Amino acid sequence: MLLLETMKCRGTVEYSVTLITGTSEEDLYVEGVDKTHIFETEAEAQLCFEKLRPIAKLGAYAALKRFNRYGKSAPVKLPLSKCVGKTKRIRHCVKRPDGTKSYWQAVLADEEIAYPGENSLKWFGSLNAFVSAHYTDEHPTRKGGNGWEECETLIFGEWVKMGVVREVVA
């Protein structure tokens, strides 16, 4: 649901566009998320509303991503520590060429990913570096991937895509 609102309080007027995501079969964590953009003028709010109107046809996660990026030229950037569950656990899955799966589970320490490899602890500065190393070890013909879309974090006993958590927190 996309709302265009005008709020008047003691002579102050505020204009806003609010997104309230609906149900999501793909991920429960984006159901009912409430995000608002605030504007100084009614015209700015109406322009936002009109440009975002097509997101009503998208799924909850895709709509949330588009809403979060409205008016921004750069992608949403947040520290990893804001996007992991309380356990600070991160995992990534690679489907090997033979069809079997390999899972790497790591822990976030400050803003670095610590993975207990076979012989030593390996440190990664980003999700993409973690993903690339996993592909190098388990599926060498694959060059890399998107860490935000492929990695998951443990939240209340359930593995949730890091990209989903980033969009909800942003």
User: What confidence tens digit (pLDDT) does each residue in 111-130 have?
Assistant: 999 999 888 899 999 999 99
For 16, how many CA atoms within 13 A lie in the half-sphere containing its CB? 13
**Number of residues written out for the chain:** 170
Question: Does pLDDT of 24 surpass 70?
Answer: no
**Pair 85, 154: CB distance under 8 Å:** yes
Residue boundaries of the structural domains of the chain? 2-69, 80-169
Dist CA 61 CA 123 (whole Å): 30
pLDDT digits (tens, 9 = 90+) for 49-74: 999 999 988 888 889 999 999 988 87
Question: Does pLDDT of 103 surpass 80?
Answer: yes
Q: Find the range with the poorest average confidence among 23-32, 79-88, 122-131.
A: 23-32
Instruction: Sort strands 158-161 and 121-124 into parallel, antiparallel or unpaired.
Output: unpaired
Q: Read off the amino acid at residue 86.
A: K
User: For the residues 26-54, what does the mean pLDDT come to?
Assistant: 90
**Pair 17, 4: CB distance under 8 Å:** yes
**pTM, entire model:** 0.81
Take residue 66 and report the two structure tokens written for it. Answer: 């588009």
Cα 5 to the center of its chain, rounded Å: 26
**Pair 11, 27: CB distance under 8 Å:** no
User: Considering the chain, what percentage of its residues have pLDDT values greater than 70?
Assistant: 98
